[in-house]
């Protein structure tokens, strides 16, 4: 079994819409149910955290700081979790249950690199 990071992406507009009023309550209930299901199956290694929208990017040898997260991107990373799966295909199937996919969001699945001990 290996670990995979799930990066939750959405447009700022979609994220804002999901975070207001009754829709926010419904969204949170779906997320909690999904996370509980992953935990019950032993697939959730780290629930992760949601991320605030503002940020900075530090680039290059001159360490230039710009507003971020990524000015050239139409989507922002709203949070992450770490799951355990036998391979990337299983991790992608796990990501397929993510509530962000009910809207205009996406889930990027990335293997966690194992460092030699």
* Within-domain flag for 93: yes
* Within-domain flag for 117: no
* Within-domain flag for 79: yes
CATH code of the domain containing 62: 3.30.70.1060
Six-digit token string for 57: 């990017």
Range of the domain at 53: 2-111
Write the pLDDT tens digit of every residue in 42-97. Answer: 999 999 988 887 788 788 898 888 876 555 567 788 899 999 999 999 999 999 99
**What is the distance between the alpha carbons of residues 117 and 114, in angstroms, rounded to a whole number?**
9
Q: How far is CA 35 from the centre of its chain?
A: 12
* Within-domain flag for 116: no
Contact 89, 6 (CB under 8 A): no
Contact 28, 102 (CB under 8 A): no
Give residue 76's pLDDT. Answer: 81
* Within-domain flag for 64: yes
Structural domain total, the chain: 1
Q: What pTM, to 2 d.p., does this model score?
A: 0.83
**What is the distance between the alpha carbons of residues 51 and 87, in angstroms, rounded to a whole number?**
26
């Amino acid at each position: 079994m290996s670990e995979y990071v799930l990066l939750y992406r959405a447009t700022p507009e979609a994220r804002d819409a999901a975070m207001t009023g009754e829709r926010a309550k419904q969204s949170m209930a779906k997320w909690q149910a999904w996370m509980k299901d992953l935990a019950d199956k032993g697939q959730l290694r780290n629930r992760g955290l949601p991320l605030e929208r503002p940020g900075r990017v530090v680039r290059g040898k001159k360490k230039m700081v710009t507003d971020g997260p990524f000015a050239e991107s139409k989507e922002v990373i709203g949070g992450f979790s770490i799951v355990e799966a036998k391979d990337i295909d299983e991790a992608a199937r796990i990501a397929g249950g993510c509530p962000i996919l009910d809207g205009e969001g996406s889930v990027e699945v990335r293997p966690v690199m194992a460092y030699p001990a």
